Structure 1
């Protein structure tokens, strides 16, 4: 392809992306007419944009993808949607029975789960989160197992091979996790590739996976795929999560609880 043709293709991709983001959904025929190129050319362009994670192709057209932005540090996020996270945390804790072994992942919502465990008896909690470990360290009713690993400072979490190897030797009744982005099409996704590798092992360490997520996490896609949505057995969210999203999640066989 000549340099001039490459430049025209780049300009056309930018035009397509602008139109899709503006309208959210647009048909191939409309793009062909507006840009003055053939439908096969448009389909090739859409394939390129989809491979870049910028759009999602659908029958006869294309839809915009909302890309999750990089998360601020966990300390900063702890004050965002705090009331919703506290309600979600209490709802998740209510599902935990005395005597169970649970894995509790990193994040601000999972920290609220840890805070709500007060009063539980004879629990074993496995965690890769420093803030969760600190919260639970003084509770004599909890046997606390800390995975070790490489500290991801912004998240107060431990990731990498040490965590993954430790979890391969352990089993939990329930794994309670949070996630950067949740999409019906792309499933569970995260921003950090190393953290994603650890997350893939986490969701395999328990018989039941419970996802805790406020409404801001849904309908978004981040860089790295962790697992399909059907990996999750229960989702606990807040009352602001859209009804159509809840219905589609339930249609996948996932139990959804609104706190």
Structure 2
């Protein structure tokens, strides 16, 4: 019989290889009881190695490398357009809002151009360009080191600038979103900037299409409970929505 540590390693390997495996199959293969397998799966889920599912476990999906922002403009374009409209409706005239970088936050910006009395703070060059010609919006650009593939500015300069400002709302996107793994990002410097951004306002709103959910990237930004609202599309699974809502987070599907 395998020792506990060896058995956990075996289970992790099997789940990664098959992507989905049932408790009964693991019990038979490893020669231990189903309650023992369930306890092992609980341990592995707590370690972030897999995700338990009904009757078994599934491999935790890793977020694929993110293509440059210019290549993502056409991905899920209709979903992002709807998300942008709904997220923009959550902003009141006269408020100060921070818009993070990304293709979905760009759609939010496009829906703000007719609004009155807004102050928009951003670290995204494409969003700054989108709003720069609209005198009804006070635009503050943070400065920072340009991440060319994202048209974003990151690093110490951004973080220092935000210490001098405040916002009513932060609207940001994220590379990967998981109930268990939280909010994660692939670029570690951007991860540090995102952490500062999330402390910057009374309300944090995440905009993310369905392809971002149930995945994890390398850099941990924050637990999912750091978000107050999520605006997404109608293709996110009902089970995922229920899990998020149980944590007290409002989910709006556009």
TM-score, length-normalised on structure 1? 0.84
* 1:177 alignment partner in structure 2: 172
Deviation at 1:63, TM superposition (A): 3.9
Deviation at 1:114, TM superposition (A): 0.5
* 2:3 alignment partner in structure 1: none
Which of these residues, 232, 238, 244, is aligned with residue 239 of structure 2?
Answer: 244
Q: Which moved more, 1:18-27 or 1:66-75?
A: 18-27
Contact 2:229–2:251 (8 Å) recurs in 1 = yes
Q: Which runs of 5+ in 1 are unaligned?
A: 1-8
Contact 2:113–2:137 (8 Å) recurs in 1 = no
* 1:4 alignment partner in structure 2: none
Q: How many residues align?
A: 247
Contact 1:84–1:214 (8 Å) recurs in 2 = yes
- Within 5 Å, give how 1:1-259 maps onto structure 2: 16-22=12-18, 24-27=20-23, 30-31=25-26, 33-34=28-29, 54-56=49-51, 63-259=58-254
Q: Which runs of 5+ in 2 are unaligned?
A: 1-5
TM-score, length-normalised on structure 2? 0.86
CA distance in 1, matches of 2:222, 2:158: 18
Deviation at 1:38, TM superposition (A): 11
Residues 35 and 16 of structure 1, relative CA distance in 2, 3 Å threshold: farther
Deviation at 1:55, TM superposition (A): 2.8
CA distance in 2, matches of 1:23, 1:104: 36
Residues 38 and 236 of structure 1, relative CA distance in 2, 3 Å threshold: closer
CA RMSD, aligned part only?
A: 3.0
Once the two structures are superposed, residues 118-175 of structure 1 have per-residue CA deviations (whole angstroms, 9 ceiling, x without a partner) of 2100111000001000100101011111111111111100111111111122110000
CA distance in 1, matches of 2:121, 2:79: 24
Residues 239 and 15 of structure 1, relative CA distance in 2, 3 Å threshold: closer
